[in-house]
Amino acid sequence: MENAKVLLIYTGGTIGMMKDNITGELRAFDFEHLNAQVPELDRLNVDLSSISFDDPIDSSDMHPKDWARIAQQIELNYNDYDGFVVLHGSDTMAFTASGLSFMLQGLRKPVILTGSQLPIGTIRTDGKENLITSIEIAASKDEKGMPLIQEVAIYFEYSLYRGNRTTKVSAKHFEAFQSPNYQELAIAGVDINYHFQNLYRTSIQDLTLFTDFEEDIALLKLYPGINMKMYAGLFDIAHTKAIVLETFGAGNAPHNKQLQDLITKFTTSGGIILNITQCASGSVQQGLYESSSFFNKAGVVNGKDLTTESALAKLMYVLGRYSSKDECIAALKRDIVGEMQP
Ligand code: ASP
């Protein structure tokens, strides 16, 4: 059997950082440095190629336009490789994975994002295992020669997750990610144990790229005693097209007249509000409690079990793709790429 061909796309992040001897700050290094630190890469039965951002960045600087750069590289190289590994800072990796899942529809090859909590040059780094296993996953095929993973996923600390279901939960543990509402796609131990029933399969024939994302999307987290005067500007349709509203529990909000007036004015002027829960797991059930029934009347969309990262990316995609509010709302209610419960 021929070796699988995997393309590494290096964007930056801790995995490729080195300590600046003068300031002590961690700074991104070029890909050659990373390669030199992992000689094991040459021993994998994989034909590995790499490309790198000219300016590797801390993932705090990632912008939807950078997601588009990554997606375009994957589209450009799609027919020449069996799988893709994207090296990325962990801080906003869940946002990028969510964004890429909407950008790369019809994907039938693995796109595995990974990174590390410690730079790859340090002795206790988690980066080597993350990198090597991600490459192995990106190269894995079934007995018919089809890629096992055909979606955007995150591999971190022995777990493979659906990318648009993840969230970063720890700034200190190697186990930095969780997928609170969807089971892992695979667990790596002595063998990589794939959970076949959890793997996504697209019904779209060809890879289709959507990179035209709407950027005028806001995020508001409710809290007890919230003073809506401070947030009135956010509901101004002149510069906000849609808002992700993080509500309590199963999608509940305080009986706050100002909040209700702002929402009603915003939705009747063409704005879209997507209701997700601020709980780590579970789903919005609009109307279950009296404290959420107002949302149904005001046309707020039930975001079910979407993560914050996925809700933002989904709104950016949907508003970029569809022009009428009705089409946008219909798309928001659909599970598009395995991002929410059907
Ligand atoms: N600040 C880094 C980043 O997200 C942290 C990491 O790579 O894990 O780019």
- Does 221 share its domain with 195? no
- Does 188 share its domain with 306? no
pLDDT confidence of residue 293: 87
125 labelled catalytic: no
- Does 160 share its domain with 287? no
Q: What is the CATH number of the domain that holds 60?
A: 3.40.50.1170
Give the residue, 21 or 60, on which the prediction is more confident.
60
Give the residue, 165 or 40, on which the prediction is more confident.
165
What is the model's pTM?
0.95
Average pLDDT (86-108) is 97
> Among 174, 209, 244, where does a domain finish?
209
| Residue 127 CB less than 6 A away from ligand 1 | no
Q: From residue 283, give the alpha-carbon distance in Å to each of 29, 180, 182, 269.
A: 41, 11, 12, 27
265, part of any domain: yes
3-state SS, residue 112: strand
What residues pair up with 264 in beta bridges, in sequence order?
A: none
At 146, list the tokens.
């089809």
Find the 125 Cα to ligand 1 centroid distance in Å.
14
Closest by CA position to 295, among listed 335, 266, 322, 330: 266
307, part of any domain: yes
Q: How many domains does the chain have?
A: 2
What value does the mean pLDDT of the chain take? 93
Q: Are 206 and 106 in contact (CB under 8 A)?
A: yes
Average pLDDT (83-104) is 97
Q: Which range of residues forms the domain containing residue 285?
A: 217-333
- Does 185 share its domain with 243? no
- Does 29 share its domain with 121? yes
**Cα(11)–Cα(142) distance, rounded to whole angstroms?**
29
| Residue 30 CB less than 6 A away from ligand 1 | no
**Cα(217)–Cα(178) distance, rounded to whole angstroms?**
25
**Cα(114)–Cα(185) distance, rounded to whole angstroms?**
15
pLDDT 10s digits, 259-313: 999 999 999 999 999 999 999 999 999 888 777 789 999 999 999 999 999 999 9
For the chain, percent of residues with pLDDT exceeding 70? 98
**Cα(56)–Cα(177) distance, rounded to whole angstroms?**
22
pLDDT confidence of residue 121: 77
340, part of any domain: no
Query: Above 90 in pLDDT, residue 14?
Result: no
**Cα(196)–Cα(181) distance, rounded to whole angstroms?**
17
338, part of any domain: no
251, part of any domain: yes
**Cα(4)–Cα(333) distance, rounded to whole angstroms?**
38
For the chain, percent of residues with pLDDT exceeding 90? 79
In degrees, rounded to 5, the angle at the alpha carbon of residue 75 between the alpha carbons of residues 72 and 77 is 110
341, part of any domain: no
- Does 8 share its domain with 94? yes
- Helix (H) / strand (E) element for 64: namely helix 64-77
Average pLDDT (213-229) is 97
- Does 10 share its domain with 112? yes
The gap from C-alpha 266 to its chain's centroid, in whole angstroms, comes to 27
| Residue 56 CB less than 6 A away from ligand 1 | no
Give the residue, 195 or 27, on which the prediction is more confident.
195
Q: From residue 144, give the alpha-carbon distance in Å to each of 5, 140, 147, 193, 317.
A: 17, 11, 9, 18, 34
Q: What is the CATH number of the domain that holds 301?
A: 3.40.50.40
3-state SS, residue 193: strand
At 275, list the tokens.
């209701």
- Does 56 share its domain with 190? yes
**Confidence at 22, pLDDT banded by 50, 70, 90:** confident
Give the nearest ligand 1 atom to 57 CA: 9
> Among 209, 233, 267, where does a domain finish?
209
101, part of any domain: yes
- Does 179 share its domain with 249? no
Find the 114 Cα to ligand 1 centroid distance in Å.
11
Query: Above 90 in pLDDT, residue 120?
Result: no
| Residue 61 CB less than 6 A away from ligand 1 | no
Q: Are 4 and 139 in contact (CB under 8 A)?
A: yes
pLDDT confidence of residue 31: 66
pLDDT confidence of residue 36: 77
pLDDT confidence of residue 123: 85
342, part of any domain: no
> Among 209, 242, 272, where does a domain finish?
209
Find the 217 Cα to ligand 1 centroid distance in Å.
24
